Amino acid sequence: MAVVFTSNIKINPDGSWYIVLTDTVDNRTAVCLNLDEYSQKIEDFGADYGGNIDAVKWSKDANVPPQTMDEIRLEMSHQKEDSNKETHKETS
């Protein structure tokens, strides 16, 4: 059984973004208003599979502007850098 999650970026009427995370194995979903919530939900959902997630498929609604995508990518990049720094501290 492949463990695949989907992440769909959406826009609220006020212009703020959110991500709908779906576990395609059991169809549970979570609405994540920021990347901290998203990271926590990925971890929570993945824990049910021993942390073994085969894929995360990303999509976005047609009304998501390019600058929102850039903002999310930048935030994700910063989170990855911070995570890498923490990992190196723990192994040093």
* Residues with Cβ within 8 Å of residue 45, at least 6 apart in sequence: 5, 21, 23, 28, 30
Q: Alpha-carbon distance 12 to 91, whole Å?
A: 41
**pLDDT tens sequence across 62-83:** 999 999 999 999 999 988 887 7
Q: State pTM to two decimals.
A: 0.86
**pLDDT tens sequence across 10-65:** 999 999 999 999 999 999 999 999 999 999 999 999 999 999 999 999 999 999 99
Residue 85's SS3 state is helix
Say what the pLDDT of residue 79 is.
Answer: 84
Retrieve residue 4's tokens.
Answer: 């695949």
User: Partners of 9 in the beta sheet?
Assistant: 19, 60
Percent of the chain at pLDDT exceeding 70 = 93
